[in-house]
Amino acid sequence: MLRKEEAIIDRMMIILAFSFYLFVLLQESFKHFLLDILSLHFKKNAGLKLIEFLSTLEETC
């Protein structure tokens, strides 16, 4: 069971890293697209926390 959870976390980290790469690469246009997708597919609280996280990343970059 632990191996399954580790595999899921690894996939999520790869997806997050790739998303961040695209976010930096495409800047504003991708940001709005990504935030729209996240707000549709994530639970409300998790989506809002992720949006806040991405906003802080944007401010620091």
Computed on alpha carbons and rounded to an integer, the radius of gyration of the chain in Å comes to 13
What confidence score (pLDDT) does residue 22 get?
Answer: 77
What confidence score (pLDDT) does residue 42 get?
Answer: 62
The DSSP 8-state label assigned to residue 1 in this structure reads -
In the chain, what's the furthest Cα-to-Cα distance? Answer: 40
Task: Give which of 5, 7, 37, 6 is closest to 19, Cα–Cα.
Answer: 37
Tens digits of residue pLDDT in 9-40? 889 998 998 888 877 777 767 667 777 777 76
| pTM, 2 dp | 0.40
Our count of domains for the chain comes to 1
What confidence score (pLDDT) does residue 35 get?
Answer: 74
Helices (H) then strands (E): counts for the chain: 2, 0
Q: Which residues form the domain of 30? A: 2-60
